[in-house]
Structure 1
Amino acid sequence: MSAAEQDNMLPDPEAATLAREGATQLARLLAEKPAAERAQIRLDGTEMIVPRQAVVLLREILGQMARGNAVTIVPTHAEMSTQDAANILNVSRPFVVKLLENGEIPYRKAGTHRRIRYEDLIEYKARMDRDSREAMDALAAQAQELGMGY
């Protein structure tokens, strides 16, 4: 197994435990030192200085690993294929193509291929998540009004 394949695997229980402990410690340190703009880290005796944003990102990565999730970092300006977008949205590629052609998500064409900006895809996902939450809240309110017991 290559190093790249190992890096994209789901964390094993030991890694998840270490990640949970690390995320907790980083969250505490970030809260205790809100004005700190940099952090000094050490890996196997080598020390370096990193910006606070990197520490915040590391805390988020560790939090995901603690929950057993694999993590991929994608720059917000990155472009992706319709299949990549479908994987992120957990839908089929033809469904993504339909969203693009209906103007739900902006895209550009590179030859015959559609390219979607990651940032645009995440905006769409956030909109859909918000709409779903609002619909669920409306249904729950209606159930309460009708005395359905939940």
Structure 2
Amino acid sequence: MQTQNQLPSAEEAALAKLCSQELAAILETKEQVQTLSVQDQSGETHSVNMPVSALRMLVDVLTELGVGNTVKLVPIHAELTTQEAADLLNVSRPTLIKLLDDGEIPFHRSGNRRKVRFADLQHYQETLEKSRLNTLEELTALDQELGLGY
């Protein structure tokens, strides 16, 4: 299954959810490395040492698959095309281009193409989320001030 192109089936989602819960329950976060046993097709068991950080990421991936989402891993240092960046922000490409041209998100050109760093997209999302939360707090305070009972 290509998790970046296809939604998990109901069976795959259910299995991923179960695996996520079981793996999270045995994850030893105080350790740097944990040993997992994996059985191959012939029934032979192999021990694999994995960094706990990779196991945490695996739990996150399984959790997302378990709720029916697709998953795409993007390295932090990755440079994305405008279409990839728009997909990650869940906006149209023209909307992303406007954000780039308005200076909301930094970019550089590689030939005649715009490239966006994944880290810059994350920073933009975090800034946007903070702005939304501040606006929500202001609206809540105004509701209380006006006695609207919310």
* Equivalent position to 1:23, from 15, 20, 23: 20
Give the TM-score of the pair, scaled to structure 1. Answer: 0.86
Counterpart check, 1:14 vs 2:11 = yes
Shift of 1:34: 2.7
CA distance in 2, matches of 1:143, 1:78: 43
Shift of 1:69: 0.6
Contact 2:4 2:72 (8 Å CA) reproduced: no
Structure 2: 5+ residue runs without aligned partners? none
Task: State the AA in 2 paired with 1:34.
Answer: T
CA distance in 2, matches of 1:52, 1:26: 11
Q: What do the CA deviations read for 1:65-121 (whole angstroms, capped 9, x no partner)?
A: 121111000001111111111111122212212221222111110111000011111
Give the TM-score of the pair, scaled to structure 2. Answer: 0.86
Contact 2:82 2:93 (8 Å CA) reproduced: yes
Q: C-alpha root-mean-square deviation of aligned residues, in Å? A: 1.8
Q: 1:76 to 1:13 in 2, by over 3 A?
A: same
Give the fraction of aligned pairs with identical amino acids, expressed as a percent: 37
Q: 1:49 to 1:80 in 2, by over 3 A?
A: same
How many residues align? The count is 145
Counterpart check, 1:38 vs 2:24 = no
Structure-to-structure mapping, 1:1-150, within 5 angstroms: 4=2, 8-30=5-27, 33-41=28-36, 42-44=38-40, 45-150=45-150
Instruction: For residue 76 of structure 2, give the secondary structure of its aligned residue in structure 1.
Output: coil
Task: State the AA in 1 paired with 2:10.
Answer: P
Higher helix share: 1
Shift of 1:149: 2.8
